[in-house]
Amino acid sequence: MASKKFQYRLQKVLDFRERKVETLQAELALAIRDRDTEVAMLNALNEKRQKAQKSLEGYLARGEVAEVQQTNTFLENMAKKIEQQNKVVVKMNENVELIRKKLVVASKEKKIMDKHKEKKHEEWKVEQGKIEAKQLDEMSGVIFRKNLSMKMLAVEEEAYREEMMEKRMLLEALKAKKKKKA
């Protein structure tokens, strides 16, 4: 009894949702990498600002006015760059969160489809079990009827043999009686 293989009728939808999850995972990994790059740039700018701040303190202590003015200008420019970079990092974080939310939704949709597939597979297994049981019952019935007819045939043959034996014995008894009379 070769049973057919389970085929999920919504497999294409499930495959689509799996691809969507994989795409969003890749997109999230890229967004995180890009955000981490921007955070590293922000950290580098902050380090430059801190070094310039220390240099400024040294220039002030030594009274180097020209250096103090240049460093102040540099620090003002650095503050603008840091502010811009902070905005970039905020946007990158928002993008990461948006993709993460999309991924959560897509994962839930895929999980729903997976559960549906499992349920349909279980229903299919139950149905296949019923079909196989029915086939086994039919085969058992055929075998039982065949065995029964063979037993009945054997009983009929045995009854026929016994009848023939009785007839032979009767004929022999009659022959023996005739011989006695004669």
* Domain extent listing, the chain: 11-181
**Any idea which fold 11-181 has?**
Helix Hairpins (1.10.287)
Closest alpha carbon to 1 in 111, 142, 133, 120: 133
pTM of the model: 0.66
What is the reported pLDDT for 182?
66
What is the reported pLDDT for 88?
96
Q: What's the burial of 64, exposed, middle or buried (CB within 10 Å: 0-12/13-18/19+)?
A: middle
Helices (H) and strands (E) in the chain, counts: 2, 0
Per-residue confidence band for 26, with pLDDT thresholds at 50, 70 and 90: very high
> Is the predicted pLDDT of residue 2 greater than 60, yes or no?
no
pLDDT in tens, 132-180: 999 998 998 889 888 888 989 888 998 899 889 988 888 888 888 778 7
